[in-house]
């Protein structure tokens, strides 16, 4: 199996989305059975770890989960991602017809001022303690925020991108020493206050002689950590999974040389093949002296918008309202005395627990997380993470004292629970997996006497994309003719979605009609008056389908409608077939689908059926299913792709800026290069920004609906499926009535892990 580079635009929110929120109901369990419970560990099957178990720097979801077991969040959310403003005493919110009480470590008050500024005031619960017994206070919140806002911070959090008053002034005028050396160029050392000659020479020696091998090693580490390397853990075996054939005794340097040889320039090789870092980043990370921030200009001594009101109150002021800000502020509150230096903390004198620009102490503890969460990290050994209950947890000592996160290959997850080697895990759900689970239960269902299955909607969705830059008429992506061309393809793709999704997922997924995960509050509902099936009207605006049509009748109607769009695009249509294309358009188009060369993808059946339908009306659809999925990612990076199939990850707030905003198209200076549709629409841009700056959720929903309609009108995206995530529990070893009830996308089973109990042999 070839390695798939992950393509997903996901804002990592350090908040209680569901797995590790300290935002579950107050523990009401009886601790009287502590003795009998203590020696029975909960064993959780996990995908491989990268051992970056830091609330600041964890990259993968698995590492984030390890850190999350030890942490508490400043923000509390409920089962639908709604904010609990009065978390100290708790709020009761109804879900699925039941009342649930949510508590957390802090209340939050949001006050929008007449001048446009917004104040977020967090009042912390007194008496909350870290696992070592030290009380959590406002100083810990201040410290944690300053780490995330530091000019040299290079983790996943983007709190520094929020409109906090004074944050830009604080972050300006400082860069990492390595970046400054790199900017100076390799022209020979010149006297400089920011680096010595030895530092300069050491930097360039590593960059030239070792960074390439480090770049290749990172790829190999990624391959192994994600379980794609089925051969020996050799460089050659890893390279094969990345699409390169090397000699058996190849070194990392050999792998790097092969990568460079495959591209016109070294820069292009780096940009395309990276497993996360470039050579500059790896060189900076190679030595702490290169990571330290050095002064390059004027800089504020503090962030004026972050204020300590008293020992338990912090106020954050932003210059404007942004709907995502409150979630970004939901940070993990880390212990100043552990990750920082109490001697270096003096709030009144602008000292925040570390020297600005020097996060070496924080980074030195990346593999040893600590906080006020339900569990204490003990060790990571032989691919197992060991935890024990935090005796100081503010909700009470967890009822299962020991927990282990055990690395488990995907193919072994179901059998692990069924055969008793693990108690909980999360297999990738499909009809095949459902059948395997059922073999362990006497009732031959997915939930029975051996295994219990819990399904929740995935925070994301599958889609088919069309690139407006390469699929248009006359080189004008936004013309009516170009939109009609793309909608001709979209109409036929969309009619085969039901068949394909059912055959791949069964009941574990559903067809969706708007470019948004159904987990979002902003997703249109079928009961809405203006809800429409995607691409269900022809070029004249008439409904394509009627209620009495069977599948075959719908397929025929879709072909007729597609012909109407081709004709509107300027194609010559005669006798039910397209015979000629207008200037700038074609009769043959390619779609790339990363299905491992064997058609293993939820949308593959859509494409094979569509290919036949297109052939019947004179269009040749080429399906490119490469064994190496990098073919797709490389094409998207270069913006040479025409059509493709993939999936987006989503966030708790449906901000559409990264994926659809005009300036984020690939190739534009300053772009995030995440708008692979190449959609550039002024009205869409206006709506996206308008939705970001409103606090009225009902109003935002109507604005987002207008956004979805524009996207569908452009014909650049065909929503395909909303799949479900699966968690399976051992019905024999876990007391199932103690598992978090009503698990949701935003409130996972670990949200109330402190209440879970194991079955104890009598």
Average pLDDT over residues 78-98: 94
3-state secondary structure of 202: helix
Q: What are the tokens at 416? A: 């692990």
Spatial CA neighbour of 20 closest among 293, 330, 337: 330
pLDDT for residue 22: 34
Final residue of a domain: which of 247, 278, 295? 295
Model-level pTM?
0.80
pLDDT for residue 226: 64
pLDDT for residue 15: 31
The label of the residue with tokens 């178990």 reads: 53
What domain range is 464 assigned to?
Answer: 460-652+717-723
At 273, is the pLDDT very low, low, confident or very high (cuts 50, 70, 90)?
confident
- Inform me whether the pLDDT recorded for 664 exceeds 50: yes
pLDDT for residue 232: 66
pLDDT for residue 557: 97
Q: What angle do CA 623, 482, 585 make, to 5 degrees?
A: 55
Q: Please report whether residue 199 resides in a domain.
A: yes
% the chain with pLDDT above 90: 74
- Inform me whether the pLDDT recorded for 495 exceeds 90: yes
Q: What one-character-per-residue DSSP string does 292-316 give? A: SEEE-S---SS-TTEEEEETTEEEE
Final residue of a domain: which of 264, 295, 326? 295
pLDDT for residue 347: 97
Strongest mean pLDDT among 25-39, 134-148, 285-299: 134-148
**How, if at all, do strands 106-112 and 118-124 pair?**
antiparallel
pLDDT for residue 644: 97
Q: Please report whether residue 168 resides in a domain.
A: no
% the chain with pLDDT above 70: 93
Q: Whole-angstrom Cα distance, residue 159 to residue 327?
A: 9
Q: Whole-angstrom Cα distance, residue 8 to residue 105?
A: 32
- Inform me whether the pLDDT recorded for 277 exceeds 90: no
726, HSE (Cβ side, Cα atoms, 13 Å) = 25
Instruction: Work out how many domains the chain is built from and give that number.
Output: 2
- Inform me whether the pLDDT recorded for 33 exceeds 70: no
Q: Please report whether residue 611 resides in a domain.
A: yes
Q: What CA–CA distances, in Å, run from 335 to 133, 142, 306, 332, 369?
A: 11, 10, 18, 10, 10
pLDDT for residue 7: 31
Q: Which of 92-96, 639-643, 667-671 has the lowest mean pLDDT?
A: 667-671
Q: Whole-angstrom Cα distance, residue 133 to residue 372?
A: 9
User: pLDDT tens digits, residue range 231-249?
Assistant: 567 899 999 888 899 999 9
- Inform me whether the pLDDT recorded for 47 exceeds 80: yes
User: pLDDT tens digits, residue range 104-123?
Assistant: 999 999 999 999 999 999 99
Instruction: Name the more confident of 207 and 272.
Output: 207
Q: What CA–CA distances, in Å, run from 665 to 484, 639, 670?
A: 21, 9, 10
Instruction: Name the more confident of 720 and 506.
Output: 720
What Rg value do the Cα atoms of the chain yield, rounded?
Answer: 27
pLDDT for residue 500: 95
CATH number at residue 613: 3.10.105.10
pLDDT for residue 762: 63
Instruction: Name the more confident of 50 and 423.
Output: 423
Q: What one-character-per-residue DSSP string does 375-438 give? A: EEEEEEETTEEEEEE-TT-TT---SS-EEEEEE--GGGHHHHHHHTS-SEE-PPP-HHHHHHHH
- Inform me whether the pLDDT recorded for 228 exceeds 70: no
The label of the residue with tokens 């797995």 reads: 19
Q: Whole-angstrom Cα distance, residue 426 to residue 45?
A: 7
Q: Please report whether residue 319 resides in a domain.
A: no
Average pLDDT over residues 655-661: 87
- Inform me whether the pLDDT recorded for 195 exceeds 50: yes
Average pLDDT over residues 566-595: 95
According to DSSP, residue 90 is labeled -
Q: Please report whether residue 103 resides in a domain.
A: no
Final residue of a domain: which of 279, 295, 311? 295
- Inform me whether the pLDDT recorded for 604 exceeds 50: yes
pLDDT for residue 671: 60
pLDDT for residue 506: 87
- Inform me whether the pLDDT recorded for 501 exceeds 80: yes
C-alpha torsion sign, points 28, 33, 38, 40: negative
At 5, is the pLDDT very low, low, confident or very high (cuts 50, 70, 90)?
very low
Helical pair 697-714 and 682-692, crossing angle rounded to 10 deg: 160
- Inform me whether the pLDDT recorded for 4 exceeds 80: no
According to DSSP, residue 507 is labeled G
Average pLDDT over residues 17-34: 37
Average pLDDT over residues 448-461: 93
Q: Please report whether residue 43 resides in a domain.
A: no
Q: Which of 3-7, 111-115, 249-253 has the lowest mean pLDDT?
A: 3-7
At 48, is the pLDDT very low, low, confident or very high (cuts 50, 70, 90)?
confident
At 28, is the pLDDT very low, low, confident or very high (cuts 50, 70, 90)?
very low
Q: Whole-angstrom Cα distance, residue 23 to residue 17?
A: 9
Q: Please report whether residue 253 resides in a domain.
A: yes
pLDDT for residue 231: 54
Helical pair 604-616 and 551-568, crossing angle rounded to 10 deg: 60
At 535, is the pLDDT very low, low, confident or very high (cuts 50, 70, 90)?
very high
Q: Whole-angstrom Cα distance, residue 73 to residue 24?
A: 12
pLDDT for residue 653: 82
Mean pLDDT of the chain: 90
Q: Whole-angstrom Cα distance, residue 410 to residue 47?
A: 7
Q: Give the phi and the psi of residue 142 in degrees, each rounded to 5.
A: -60, -50
Q: Please report whether residue 693 resides in a domain.
A: no
């Amino acid at each position: 199996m070839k390695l798939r580079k992950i393509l997903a635009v996901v804002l990592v929110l350090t908040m209680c989305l569901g797995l590790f929120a300290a935002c579950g109901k107050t523990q009401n369990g009886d601790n009287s059975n502590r003795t009998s419970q203590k020696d029975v560990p909960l064993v959780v099957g996990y995908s491989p770890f990268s051992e970056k178990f830091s609330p600041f720097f964890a990259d993968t979801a698995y590492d984030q989960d390890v850190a999350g077991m030890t942490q508490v969040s400043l923000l509390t959310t409920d089962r639908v991602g709604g904010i609990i403003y009065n978390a100290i005493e708790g709020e009761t919110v109804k879900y699925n017809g039941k009342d649930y009480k949510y508590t957390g470590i802090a209340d939050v008050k949001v006050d929008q001022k007449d001048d446009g500024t917004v104040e977020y005031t967090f009042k912390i619960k007194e008496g909350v303690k870290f696992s070592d017994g030290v009380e959590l206070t406002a100083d810990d919140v201040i410290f944690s925020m300053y780490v995330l806002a530091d000019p040299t911070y290079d983790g996943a959090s983007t709190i520094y991108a929020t409109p906090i008053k004074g944050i830009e002034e604080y972050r300006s005028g400082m860069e990492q020493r390595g970046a400054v050396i790199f900017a100076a160029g390799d022209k020979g050392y010149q006297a400089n206050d920011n680096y010595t000659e030895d530092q300069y020479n050491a930097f360039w020696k590593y960059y030239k002689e070792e960074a390439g091998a480090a770049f290749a090693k990172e790829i190999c580490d990624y391959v192994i950590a994600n379980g794609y390397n089925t051969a020996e853990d050799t460089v050659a075996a890893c390279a094969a999974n990345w699409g390169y054939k090397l000699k058996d005794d190849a070194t990392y340097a050999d792998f790097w040389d092969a990568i460079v040889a495959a591209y016109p320039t070294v820069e292009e090789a780096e940009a395309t093949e990276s497993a996360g870092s470039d050579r500059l980043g790896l060189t900076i990370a190679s030595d702490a002296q290169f990571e330290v921030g050095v002064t390059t200009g004027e800089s504020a001594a503090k962030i004026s918008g972050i204020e300590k009101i008293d020992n338990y109150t912090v106020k954050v002021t932003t210059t404007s309202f942004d709907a995502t800000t409150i979630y970004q502020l939901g940070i993990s509150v880390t212990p100043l005395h552990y990750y920082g230096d109490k001697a270096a903390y003096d709030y009144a004198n602008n000292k925040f627990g570390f020297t600005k620009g020097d996060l070496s102490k924080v980074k030195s503890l990346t593999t040893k997380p600590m906080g006020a969460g339900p569990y204490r990290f003990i060790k990571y050994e032989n691919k197992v993470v060991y935890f024990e209950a935090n005796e100081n947890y503010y909700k009470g000592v967890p009822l299962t004292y020991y927990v282990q996160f055990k690395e488990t290959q995907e193919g072994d997850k179901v059998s692990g629970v069924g055969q008793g080697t693990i108690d909980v895990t999360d297999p990738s759900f499909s009809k095949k997996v459902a059948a395997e689970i059922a073999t362990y239960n006497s009732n031959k269902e997915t939930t029975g006497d051996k295994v219990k299955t819990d399904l929740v909607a995935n925070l994301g969705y599958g889609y088919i994309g069309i690139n407006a830059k390469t699929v248009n008429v006359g080189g004008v992506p936004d013309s009516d003719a170009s939109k009609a061309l793309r909608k001709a393809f979209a109409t036929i793709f969309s009619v085969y979605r039901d068949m394909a999704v059912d055959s791949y997922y069964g009941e574990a997924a559903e067809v969706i009609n708007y470019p948004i995960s159904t987990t979002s509050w902003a997703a249109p509902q079928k009961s809405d008056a203006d809800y429409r099936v995607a691409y269900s009207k022809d070029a004249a605006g008439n409904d394509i389908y009627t209620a009495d049509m069977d599948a075959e009748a719908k397929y025929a109607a879709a072909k007729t409608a597609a012909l109407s769009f081709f004709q509107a695009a300027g194609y010559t249509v005669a006798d039910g077939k397209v015979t000629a294309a207008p200037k700038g358009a074609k009769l043959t188009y390619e779609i790339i689908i990363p299905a491992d060369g064997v058609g293993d993808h939820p949308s593959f059946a859509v494409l094979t059926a569509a290919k036949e339908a297109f052939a019947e009306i004179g269009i040749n659809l080429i399906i490119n299913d490469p064994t190496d999925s990098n073919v797709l990612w490389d094409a998207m990076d270069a913006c040479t792709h025409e059509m493709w199939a993939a999936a987006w990850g989503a966030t708790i707030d449906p901000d559409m800026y990264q994926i659809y905003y005009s300036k984020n198209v690939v190739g534009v200076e300053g772009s995030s290069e995440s708008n692979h549709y190449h959609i550039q629409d002024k009205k869409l841009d206006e709506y996206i920004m308008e939705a970001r700056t409103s606090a009225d959720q009902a109003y935002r929903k109507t604005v987002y609906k207008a956004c979805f309609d524009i996207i569908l009108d452009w014909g650049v995206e065909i929503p395909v499926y909303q799949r479900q995530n699966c968690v399976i529990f051992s019905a024999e070893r876990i007391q199932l009535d103690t598992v978090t009830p009503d698990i949701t996308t935003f409130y996972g089973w670990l949200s109330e892990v402190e209440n879970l109990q194991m079955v104890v042999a009598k």
